[in-house]
Amino acid sequence: MTAATDQLAAPRVRMDPPRPPSKNRYALFRTLKYAGLIFFLVVVLIPVYVLLVTSFKGTGDADPSRAWAFPQIWTLDNWVTAWTALSPAILRSVAVVVPSAIIAAFLGSLNGFVLARWSFRGADLVFTLILFGMFIPYQAVMIPLNQLILDLGIPTGVPTLIMLHVVYGIPITTLIFRNYYMTVPHELIEAGRVDGAGMLRTYWSIVLPISVPSFVVVLIWQFTSAWNDFLFAVFFSSSQNGPVTVALNNLANGALLQNYGVSMAGALFASLPTLLVYIVLGRYFVGGLMSGSVKG
Amino acid sequence: MLNKLRRLGPPLLLLAPSLILVGVFVYGLIAANFTTSLTDNHTAAQATGQEPAVFVWFTNYLDLLASEDFQHSLMNLVLYTVVFLAGTMVMGFLWAWMLDKPVKGEGLFRSVYLFPMAVSFVASGVVWRWLLNSNQDEQASGLNRLFQMVGLDALQNNWWNNVTFGIIAIAIPAIWQLSGYVMALFLAGFRGIPNELREAARMDGASEWKLYRYVLFPQLSPVALSALIIIGHMSLKAFDLIMSISKPANYQTKVPAVDMFVFKSSFDYANAAAVGSILLIIVALVIVPYLIRTNREEKR
């Protein structure tokens, strides 16, 4: 449909600039543009500055007049406090995110394969019905979901959250894989069929090996969204058994009156894993973003 | 018959786990939620099944829509959505437009503009709560202090503590987080336009403005639509930022998603379910036509 979709085809997103203009008559325009770019760069980074500076401040810097100044004495106290408070929750986040990302990616891959390349009548309708699950406001299922989880006897906290991220991750993972498999040449799969390979065999020996880039995109996407999830976490866990978002929110609520430094340090701890993924695997991250939005 | 089974069997079998899960957890629960919203399940005793709940049909919906409290939430939702949408679209387009033509350090600008997307609303809420501190003048910290420092004292305001427009203050961090995403979409859109198209238009003597108006904008409209849909539906679900910046009990910044949480916390399951259904209907009004449209386009 669009360029964004084409880029999904090859999940690496390349944004090659068009050819440079030959004439130099836009000097003023260009200066203004750079000024604008740098201005916005600074604006976007303001919260980062605040976070870093505040997290190193001690109690001596509490006066509002020093709000934007560097710490008088740089201290790691806030960091230690935040780490002590959050580290168990960070581990629980890992315990939630890793299995749910893997399971959801695998299910999505199976679905995507069937819907794209082993299609049947009504497959498009099935796909659209699955996709709708991606957009629903989860508020519209929370009350009975709560009851269902009680009935199933699944303990709140990590087990419940794993299940929820798998289930509600299916639509997006299916979408990404389906769009990717749509670009796999028919011949490749037909070749398998002619050789008498069944569906599972085709999937296993032909499709799965070429799915690695999509798996990276999907795993990153699931990792990020499950790590950053707060809605399910706040409904189905507490600060004792919940992930880092809930723990951070509680920490910020408790400390907010005097000590922003601790919650700022905590916010950074809570964001580090996803930030690292973004920095190291940025182009795959963007690939996930694109596919999350544009249906092909 | 057997043949049909053989053909349809394996794909359906492979899809079955997901179909069952989505069937139960999406459609089944939506139906169950709707049923609850039609009852008088307003107390903890009813919520836990110790006392029966009776059907009252659409009473909860009518009461909610008639209550000033919920109207305030809906109004907030509208304001938030408008500002959030406008903000991200304008910023996202502007950034993409500035980065479209060759720029030194493009990668740096792009990465920085996009990075807030990787951070959770809860974490960014911690910082923005500080930035949007409503204290002013001597007591000011956060952005109000920054305004003083750069001589823009007049811009100081009480941010999310304003009853009518406080919700707009919550839209600012949301714009901060998602403009980069819209930029990435637009940038991909720009780069997807074949250069020949621009060249051809220039050859025909089109001015820069006309080039945009008649060549580039039409090419970008599918991207713009996607961005609108994504940001729009995120906006309707707004919850995390409010929970983290202004807290759920705050009247100024509440939206339906927050009401739902408050109802749930006080065991008023019927109203919680009704609010959930209302949100679902609003989202569906936006999403369903979009899904049908893309589905049709694909078939062509």
A111 contacts B120? CB cut-off 8 A: no
| Segment of A180-189, A275-284, B13-22 carrying the highest mean pLDDT | B13-22
Q: Is residue A280 part of a domain?
A: yes
Domain count, chain A: 1
Q: Is residue B13 part of a domain?
A: no
Domain span holding position A252: 77-293
Residue B28 lies in a domain: no
Q: What is the pLDDT of residues A15-31, one digit of tens each?
A: 555 555 555 667 888 88
Is the CB of residue A133 less than 8 Å away from at least one CB of chain B?
Answer: yes
Residues of B in contact with A110 (CB under 8 A): 14-15, 18
Closest residue, chain B, to A294 (C-alpha): B226
How close does chain B come to A14, measured CA to CA in Å?
Answer: 8
8 Å CB contact of A199 and B141 = no
CA pair distance A71, A48, nearest whole angstrom: 15
* Secondary structure class of B39 (helix, strand, coil): strand
CA A131 → CA A55, A102, A169, A279, B211, distances in Å? 41, 19, 10, 29, 36
Residue A136 belongs to a domain: yes
- Residue A189, min C-alpha distance to chain B (Å): 14
Kindly give, in sequence order, each residue whose CB lies less than 8 Å from that of residue A250, ignoring residues fewer than 6 positions away.
A239
Answer whether residue A196 shows pLDDT above 80: no
Q: Is A6 on the interface with B (CB under 8 A)?
A: yes
For residue A182, is it within any domain?
Answer: yes
CATH number where B148 lies: 1.10.3720.10
Mean pLDDT of chain A: 83
Contact A136 B95 (CB under 8 A): no
- Across the interface, whether the CB atoms of B103 and A275 are under 8 A apart is answered no
Helix axes B166-192, B217-236, angle to 10 degrees: 150
Q: Which residues of chain A lie closer than 8 angstroms to B233, CB-CB? A: 135
Name the residue with higher pLDDT: B252 or B95.
B95
Chain B closest-CA separation from residue A142 CA (Å): 8
Tell me the pTM.
0.87
Distances B163 to B85, B129, B168 between C-alpha atoms, Å: 21, 17, 10
- In-domain check, residue B276: yes
Distance of CA B91 to the CA centre of its chain: 16
Q: Which domain holds residue B141?
A: 38-299
- List all residues 6 or more positions away from B199 whose beta carbon is below 8 Å from its beta carbon: none
Residue B201 lies in a domain: yes
Terminal Cα distance for chain B, rounded: 31
Task: Identify from B26, B176, B263 which residue to disrupt to test chain A contact, counting A C-beta atoms within 10 A and taking the largest count.
Answer: B26
Q: What is the mean pLDDT of residues A54-67?
A: 80
- Whether residue A222 is contained in a domain is answered as yes
User: How many domains is chain B built from?
Assistant: 1
Cα A85 to Cα A30, A55, A82: the distances in Å are: 49, 15, 5
> Quick check: is B99 in a domain?
yes
In the prediction, which pLDDT does A24 show?
62
- Inter-chain contact A228–B243, Cβ cutoff 8 Å? no
Does pLDDT of B137 surpass 70? yes
Neighbouring residues of A28: CB distance < 8 A, sequence distance ≥ 6: none
Q: Is residue A5 part of a domain?
A: no
Window 179-198 of A: residues touching B by CB (8 A cutoff) are: 198
Could you tell me if B188 and B114 are in contact, meaning their C-beta atoms sit under 8 angstroms apart?
A: no
CATH of the domain at A212: 1.10.3720.10
Query: Has residue B174 been placed in a domain?
Result: yes
ipTM over 0.90: no
Nearest CA to CA, how far is B32 from chain A (Å)?
Answer: 6
- Helices first, then strands: H and E counts in chain A: 14, 0
Tell me how close the Cα of A141 comes to any Cα of chain B, in angstroms. 5
Q: Determine, yes or no, domain membership for A194.
A: yes
Whether residue B24 lies inside any domain: the answer is no
pLDDT given at position B95: 94
Name which of A275, A249, A227, A267 is nearest A83 in CA terms: A267
Which pLDDT belongs to residue A184? 81
CA distances (Å), B54 to each of B38, B49, B268, in order? 8, 12, 14
Q: What band does B210 get if pLDDT is binned at 50, 70 and 90?
A: confident
pLDDT of residue A162: 96
Region A158-170: mean pLDDT is: 95
Picking from A239, A235, A272, A241, the residue whose alpha carbon sits closest to that of residue A254 is A239
Q: Does residue B7 form part of some domain?
A: no
Look at residue A6 and tell me if it is in a domain: no
DSSP B253: T
**Residue A8 included in any domain:** no
